[in-house]
Chains A and B, each alone.
Chain A
């Protein structure tokens, strides 16, 4: 039984629906412009990974033909993929942007951070990140986080207030109503902003394909020397692998996410084109983080705990 009391959409006008990619793009641009209008010193976290690349692309469109009114910030773990660093620097150069770098290696060399026994540097990024935010007095920090990535991120606001220690308190989040984002913050506090909140991994790839966005080559299938650790194919290198009992082999792989070499696994793949990647992801029965991120497997609340401390 379908009861239509009054059809609100009947009429003679054409159905002006947007495609889902157009809707997501329009929403993300709106978020970028809100931040530009309301904050003094915003910065975009830019790692050279696909989500931050899409963020930058959207920011370029949002303010064209004027330049992007934001600087970029990269937290360099010291174990980044060389192809990604090269991409990062080329992109910064091409768009005439300014790049800040917070270096985990410098913190370790200065004795302010200690290397973890498991070799992963991902959790070590939090301190250099939050200290850089404080030192540069950034008041809005764009991150490429998506709610579909992880269950703690599903609870994240688009505008997420962080205290003077950059901490996230999920119980004290502001309700987010309509498209009215509340960016009020006290001096020392800042707001993390997630313009891709409502995008899924597939949306990101379809948008990359539609817009013809260039990516670092490691996102496409290539032969690489890898070794197996905790069920993941990690890139062999000076950063700390393989260890005793682990052996290197050459495999045809690609990356679904790009963190650093110590925590990001490659997946077996022969997808060398955008179309092939999209087909592969659409058929995959694993999430990108489930497939390739060691840092999320540490405990059921690993992401929540890191986010509380100030991680992006």
Chain B
């Protein structure tokens, strides 16, 4: 690999950042777990705690309600429910954490999808007394769909089952088998009591039979680096930097955040969709010239040839270019209140490119509970997950979401009012379900009736 190894060693001495999401039903103790992680890692400060105590007291509650730490909106406090994703921040000396705290209600699938889209790890909570239930399967399915690399099964309320190993082992076995069948790459099961504090931050004194990490230890040590050897390098061009100043008369840099893989000076690259080729002449890492840069660094690439490149183009290694197509089949989660219909005209945002598109077909809707497919639902409504076929007005260079979360994902947007309608993931839904590759629809006379 490249000549930056010493740099990496230095970097790793600094704390890294882990983005993770929690999922769990209301009664599984998610708020308690989040509260305990924040509290025991000393991330709740005195004035925040006092505000919670004051508010709890004024509502006639005796003990401080830690859910008030996360319920930030008036409507949430009034109704006592979480209606939206909240982001929480805490830190240990080893790592900084961004926690997407997502509501567990069935009707808020879109919120878990939102939280999981940027998460490198998902914590799925289960009540030890109830074991794996429908909601657990739903959460595992969303984590698998969104290709969250690490899943933690937190078997909570172990104190209420007398800290019994067989209870935990049975749940862990059932969940692991289910999640593995969905293609979840890594599953770690941890027996905890969020209320009593067992195995959350401190190891439990009640479960000698458990030899694994606490939740926090696992969060601190799970790898967040990327295996660049297997990644396709991708740079969506965000902005062309041309100072046109006396000092930099000929500077022309292609700025963007590396979406996947790594780029090296001297490498042959191809620009999509035009297909023009050039060579990386230099990489500017926010003011510092480097030989190599990798995801998710924001960089500026300089190329040998002065070719026409603009926002929305994708720079890739010449030997590893995705195919471009105007026909996209994807799994989507519908996130808007208004439905998505067959025949609807939409905008599609993929990386830095937004194009017109039309929903050609909605072949199926997925029931998360049992993963059954309902054919031809005609439309998708809020929180539905389904398969969608879209035709775009211009060719796009989409990767399969399985290969690259960032270049395999897209949004469908309502052109009338800008509403984000749908979150899309290109290619097969689950790793194992391996949907047969569809023949691309014949482009011949499909353009009829395109009047936007």
Contact = CB atoms under 8 A, between A and B. Distances in A.
A59 B210 CA distance: 49
B87 A5 contact: no
B45 interface: yes
Contact of A16 (B69, B262, B286): B262
Contacts of A290: 45-48, 51
Nearest to A202: B91
B26 interface: no
B200 interface: no
Contact of A286 (B47, B86, B111, B297): B47
B72 A154 contact: yes
A18 interface: yes
B186 interface: yes
B228 interface: yes
Interface stretch (A76-84, A180-188, A234-242, A262-270): A180-188
Given A62-B286, A179-B406, A19 B16 contact: yes
The size class of the interface chain B forms with chain A is: 35 or more
The size class of the interface chain A forms with chain B is: 35 or more
Contact of A65 (B51, B87, B248): B248
A230 interface: no
Contacts of B255: 33, 62-63
B205 interface: no
Interface string A101-114: 00000000000000
A110 to B, nearest CB: 33
A24 interface: yes
A304 interface: yes
B257 A30 contact: yes
A5 B180 contact: yes
B15 interface: yes
Interface in B1-41: 1, 4-5, 8, 11-12, 14-17
Contacts of B71: 151
A152 B73 contact: yes
A173 B84 contact: yes
A29 B187 CA distance: 33
Contacts of B118: 177-179
Contacts of B113: 175, 177
B225 A15 contact: yes
Interface in B160-206: 168-169, 172, 176, 180, 184-189
Interface stretch (B130-138, B368-376, B412-420, B438-446): B412-420
Interface in B207-265: 210, 212-213, 223-230, 238-239, 241-245, 247-248, 251, 255-257, 262
Contact of A18 (B210, B296, B417): B296
A33 B96 CA distance: 25
A156 B395 CA distance: 34
B278 to A, nearest CB: 21
A34 to B, nearest CB: 6
B224 A155 contact: no
Contacts of A161: 418
B411 interface: yes
A250 interface: no
A64 B243 CA distance: 8
B411 A180 contact: yes
Contacts of A8: 149, 185-186, 227
A63 B45 CA distance: 37
Interface of B: 1, 4-5, 8, 11-12, 14-17, 45-48, 51, 55, 69-75, 77, 83-89, 91, 95-96, 98, 110-111, 113-114, 117-118, 149, 168-169, 172, 176, 180, 184-189, 210, 212-213, 223-230, 238-239, 241-245, 247-248, 251, 255-257, 262, 284, 286-287, 294-298, 311, 335, 347, 349, 351-352, 405-406, 409-411, 413, 417-420, 423
Interface of A: 1-27, 29-30, 33-34, 36-37, 61-67, 147-148, 150-155, 161, 170-171, 173-180, 182, 184-186, 197-198, 200, 202-203, 284-287, 290-291, 300-301, 304
22 contacts: A14-B4, A16-B226, A20-B15, A20-B95, A21-B14, A23-B16, A24-B17, A34-B352, A64-B284, A66-B245, A170-B75, A173-B84, A175-B423, A178-B405, A180-B349, A180-B411, A182-B418, A197-B87, A198-B87, A285-B45, A285-B46, A300-B55
